[in-house]
């Protein structure tokens, strides 16, 4: 099976979500939060992709134009009634402009991307004949791997799931012949008044895991993929209905309607243990 970490994690978030997206292939409804994250990433990518050659950051206003364009085009696909509160267009635009302005002033000058180190795609073999693909955001010339994240609340270093970063380290070794020196989450904390204040969190650095630890992650991913294939063969996708999590699911509306048609069966709790 060819998979990605997001594909595997969507199953363990809720098997029904996996079924809607990867089995039934229903179009993914666009949510404002996803549009915002995509627009922010597009602006950062535009800067670092050209910086490989120029070694200079773009003017902030150029990045803001990229962000505004991506945000505006993306939000056109979002239902107007959902653009309220923390998803308000003006709030999202102002927040993105704030983040980019701060990042370009405080962080970007010290980050020089390595050649081929921006939005770099990889494909890794797993035990059992499976493969997992992905793309890391930035490898700098100090061999630090960066993953840009947007979140409603600050990351807890002790509880953050580092699986993606471990995969990036493994990919780095296969592609460049050496491991990175460190792994880093760069987190933009959106906040909405309920989850906390809007802020740019200090970089969260992790040491690179050993080859043995990477091998364990590969084996655990193999078992999880084989579990997905087993459920798919039986067509037994359960619904992990947890209101606090469901509000973040793109398929909440269609799933709720199906659940009611099915007589509101009892949901099944599905847990994805951290791989790292």
**Residue 135: what are its φ and ψ, rounded to 5°?**
-155, 125
For the record, the structure tokens of 60 come out as 């902030």
> Can you say whether the dihedral through the CA atoms of 20, 159, 137, 74 is positive or negative?
positive
For residue 103, give the 3-state DSSP assignment. Answer: helix
Residues of the chain with pLDDT under 50: 273-276
**Residue 250: what are its φ and ψ, rounded to 5°?**
-65, -25
pLDDT value of position 275: 44
Report the residue count for the chain: 276
d(CA 261, CA 249): 19
pLDDT value of position 134: 93
| Residue matched to tokens 């003006």 | 90
**Residue 157: what are its φ and ψ, rounded to 5°?**
-55, -35
- According to DSSP, residue 22 is labeled I
d(CA 191, CA 181): 31
d(CA 192, CA 94): 13
pLDDT value of position 258: 92
Q: 130 vs 25, 222, 223, 271, CA distance in Å?
A: 21, 7, 10, 22
Residues 6 or more apart from 251 whose CB is under 8 A from it? 16, 17, 20, 21, 26, 29
Q: 16 vs 30, 173, 176, 200, CA distance in Å?
A: 18, 35, 38, 34
For residue 61, give the 3-state DSSP assignment. Answer: helix
Q: 132 vs 45, 140, 171, 267, 273, CA distance in Å?
A: 23, 23, 10, 29, 18
pLDDT value of position 270: 62
d(CA 107, CA 201): 11
Domains, the chain, with CATH or none: 2-221 (3.90.320.10), 222-261 (no CATH)
pLDDT value of position 87: 86
């Amino acid at each position: 099976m060819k998979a990605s970490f997001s594909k595997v994690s969507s199953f363990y978030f809720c098997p029904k979500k996996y079924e809607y997206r990867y089995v039934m292939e229903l179009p993914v409804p666009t949510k404002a939060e996803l549009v915002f994250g995509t627009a922010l990433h597009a602006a950062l990518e535009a800067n670092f992709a050209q910086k490989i050659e120029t070694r200079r950051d773009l003017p902030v206003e150029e990045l803001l134009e990229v962000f505004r364009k991506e945000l505006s085009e993306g939000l056109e696909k979002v239902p107007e009634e959902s653009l309220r509160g923390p998803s308000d267009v003006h709030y999202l635009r102002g927040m993105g402009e704030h983040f980019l302005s701060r990042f370009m002033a405080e962080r970007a000058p010290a980050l020089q991307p390595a050649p081929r180190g921006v939005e770099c795609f990889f494909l890794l073999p797993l035990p059992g004949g499976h493969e997992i693909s992905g793309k890391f955001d930035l490898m700098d010339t100090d061999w630090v791997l960066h993953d840009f994240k947007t979140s409603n609340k600050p990351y807890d270093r002790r509880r953050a799931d580092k699986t993606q970063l471990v995969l990036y380290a493994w990919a780095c070794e296969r592609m460049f012949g050496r491991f990175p020196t460190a792994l880093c989450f760069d987190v933009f904390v959106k906040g909405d008044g309920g989850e906390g204040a809007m802020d740019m969190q200090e970089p969260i650095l992790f040491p690179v895991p050993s080859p043995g630890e990477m091998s364990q992650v590969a084996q655990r991913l193999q078992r999880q993929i084989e579990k997905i294939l087993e459920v798919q063969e039986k067509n037994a996708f359960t619904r992990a209905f947890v209101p606090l999590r469901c509000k973040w699911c793109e398929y909440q509306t269609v799933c709720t309607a199906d659940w009611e048609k099915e007589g509101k069966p009892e949901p099944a709790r599905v847990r994805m243990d951290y791989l790292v």
